[in-house]
Structure 1
Amino acid sequence: MLFVVGAVASLVGDHSHVVTGTTVYFTDAVPFVWSSPVWFPVLVALATASLAELRLHLPRPRTDVTVRQGVAGVAAVLGIYVATALVHTAPAVPATVLIIAMAAITWCALGDGPSVICGALAAVIGPIVEIVLAQADVFAYHEASDGLFGVGPWLVPLYFAFGVVVALLAEIAVRRRSGVGRAA
C-alpha cells in the first residue's frame, strides 16, 4: 500500500513541477504517466517502501499513531511539494526558508526521534539522485531554482518531510496490520 501511496503522490507533485516549468524532462525514450516518465513514480515508490522498512527496524515504533495523522502527513508533503512548484522563480533564500519551515512543522507535529533518521536519509539521498540525473541531462530545473548543483535547494527540506511522513505511515501500517489500538 505504501508503494502505491508514494507513486500516486509523486505524480501529483511532479505534475505540479512540470506544468509550472519548475522541471523539464529531456527524454521520450520511456512512456509517461501523466507528466512524469514511468521510472519517476517507481523510484519514489521504492524510496517510500525502503524508508518505511527502515523505520520498522529503528527503535520504538509508535503504537498510538492514527490514520488521521497519516492523512495529515500525506497532505503536508503534497502541500510542500506543490509549494516548491509555486515558488520556483522566487529568490532562493526566502523560498527555501519557507519550505524548511513547512518541513519543520511537519516533523514537530507528526514525527518523532527515529523519524529524523528517515528524514535525514531522504534529505541526503533524494537530492543526490536528482543531482546525478540533472547532470546527466535527463531533466533540468528552472534556472531560477537550480542553485544546488542543478536542482532546487528546497529539495533537501522537501525530502526531509517526505522521510518523516513515510516513517509515520510505516508505523500506522504495522499498527493496523497487528490490530494494536483497534476498537473491539
Structure 2
Amino acid sequence: MKLRMPQVVFLFLLGAAASLVGDHAHVVTGTTVYFETALTAVPFVWSSPIWFPTMVGVATVTLAEIRLHLPGVRTGVTARQGLAGVAAVVGIYVTTALVHTAPPVPGTVLVVAMSVITWCALGDKQSLVCGMLAAILGPVVEIVLVEVGVFAYHADSDGLFGVGPFLPPLYFAFGVVVALLGELCAETADGATRLG
C-alpha cells in the first residue's frame, strides 16, 4: 500500500463527509428515498444510513491507492487543485439533486458537461482509469441496492435500470478528483508528501 495511515484516514473522512452533503441533497429534494430494510435499520448520519458514507470513504481510499499504482503520478498538483476538485464533485452531486425532475437528456447533459470540465481542468490520462472504474462500479452498486429495495430514485430520475442516468458522469468526476487527491498524497523526491 502506498498511502500512509494518516492519508487513508484523511481521504476516508473527506469522501464520507462529501457524500453526506450530496446524499442529504438527494433525500431532501426527493431525488432518493430510503425504505425500511435490514440495511437501513442502522444509525443514520444526517440523512444517510451509516454504511453509505462508509462505502464512499472506502471507495475514495481505494481509488486514490489505485491511482498511485498507475504510471505517471503527477508531481505538480496542488492542494488548491484538490480543493477545487472536491468542490466540483460536491457541486455536481448537489446539481443532480436539483435537476432530478428535469427531462433526462438536458439534466444528464449538464452533469456530463460539468464532469468533462472537471476532467479537462484537473485530470490526466491516468485519471480516466479511476473515473471509468467509478463510473461503472458506482452505478452498478446503486442498481443492486435499488433492486433489493434499500432505496429508490424519483420516478423522473430512474431511467438507468432504476437509478439516475446522471450517476455515471457524477461517479466519473468523483474518480477523476480522487485520482488527483491520490497524487497529492504521493511522496515527493525528498520523502515528504504534498498532503498528509
TM-score, with length taken from structure 2: 0.90
Q: Quick check: 1:93 aligned with 2:89?
A: no
The percent identity for this pair of structures is: 69
CA RMSD of aligned residues (A): 1.5
Q: Quick check: 1:179 aligned with 2:192?
A: yes
The structure 1 segments of at least 4 consecutive aligned residues displaced by more than 3 Å after TM superposition are 175-178
Judged with a 3 Å threshold, the aligned counterparts in structure 2 of structure 1 residues 181 and 160 are, in CA distance, closer, same or farther, namely: closer
SS at match of 2:186: helix
Structure 1 Cα separation of the partners of residues 98 and 54 of structure 2: 24
Q: Quick check: 1:40 aligned with 2:52?
A: yes
1:61 pairs with one of 58, 61, 73: 73
1:180 Cα shift?
6.1
Structure 2 Cα separation of the partners of residues 80 and 16 of structure 1: 11
Instruction: Say if 2:31 and 2:153, in contact at 8 Å, map to a contact too.
Output: yes
1:181 Cα shift?
7.2
Judged with a 3 Å threshold, the aligned counterparts in structure 2 of structure 1 residues 34 and 112 are, in CA distance, closer, same or farther, namely: same
Structure 2 Cα separation of the partners of residues 60 and 15 of structure 1: 36
In structure 2, what is the equivalent of residue 137 of structure 1?
A: 149
Instruction: Say if 1:64 and 1:181, in contact at 8 Å, map to a contact too.
Output: no
Q: Match of 2:164, as an amino acid?
A: G
Judged with a 3 Å threshold, the aligned counterparts in structure 2 of structure 1 residues 92 and 146 are, in CA distance, closer, same or farther, namely: same
Structure 1 Cα separation of the partners of residues 138 and 168 of structure 2: 8
In structure 2, what is the equivalent of residue 83 of structure 1?
A: 95
In the alignment, structure 2 segments of 5+ residues that lack a partner are: 1-9
1:175 Cα shift?
4.3
Instruction: Say if 1:63 and 1:180, in contact at 8 Å, map to a contact too.
Output: no
User: Deviations along 1:52-74, whole A, 9 cap, x unmatched?
Assistant: 01000000100000000000000
Judged with a 3 Å threshold, the aligned counterparts in structure 2 of structure 1 residues 65 and 39 are, in CA distance, closer, same or farther, namely: same
1:173 Cα shift?
1.5
Matches within 5 A, 1:93-172: 93-172=105-184
